[in-house]
Amino acid sequence: MWLSSELMFFAGLFAMYFTLRSTSGQMWAEETAKLNFPFALVNTIVLVASSFTCQMGVFAAERLQPRRAGGPLAFTRWGMNEWFTLTFVMGAFFVAGQATEYAMLVSEHVSLSSNAYGSAFYMTTGFHGLHVIGGLIAFLFIIGRSFAAKKFGHFEATSAIVTSYYWHFVDVVWIGLFLVIYVLR
């Protein structure tokens, strides 16, 4: 139910973006030319790859394996914590990349209050970034809970699975935003 409400929230943001874009054609072309597509593409690849590492963590949680059963580089024997920690690092990299992109755009005089494009760009990507940060906090709780649990069981595994649903949702939303903002310009 909650993910459905989040879907409606982002649908509203997409509607705002397209509405503003349809009324500001020339300005949109000028402002989107300031975007750094290669930078955003690398950032997107990292976020999308984090969905795969998250899913590997879910597979480990389903095996009721919270921690690795081999050496640190024996990826096939990693547990949920290792995969979720890697997912956390990749998500944090994405957020840092988004902050860097904001700094680059501000230096190009694109801000939240500069014009309709700035408002649409920062509202859509900013709310998405807040959702990514929420997911990162959830990963910390899941990892912490696995250390606090006397025995890692189905309750902990289910929490990891539910967190992964949210993370995959956030990643899919970003794919849509990336296509709309950076590809369709």
The CATH number covering residue 36 comes to 1.20.120.80
In the predicted structure, residue 175 carries a pLDDT above the cut 90: yes
Domain interval for residue 154:
2-183
The domain tally of the chain equals 1
Q: What share of the chain is helix, strand, coil (3-state, %, to 5)?
A: 80, 0, 20
| Token representation of residue 159 | 């929490």
Q: What is the pLDDT of residue 68?
A: 86
Structure confidence by residue, pLDDT tens digits, 43-70: 999 999 999 999 999 999 999 999 888 8
Tracing tokens 């929490």 back to the chain, one arrives at: 159
Structure confidence by residue, pLDDT tens digits, 87-118: 999 999 999 999 999 999 999 999 999 999 99
Dihedral pair phi/psi, residue 35, rounded to 5°: -75, 145
Residue 112, CA distances (Å) to 4, 12, 126, 158, 162 in order: 27, 18, 10, 39, 33
Q: Sorting pLDDT into bands at 50, 70 and 90, what band is 157? A: very high
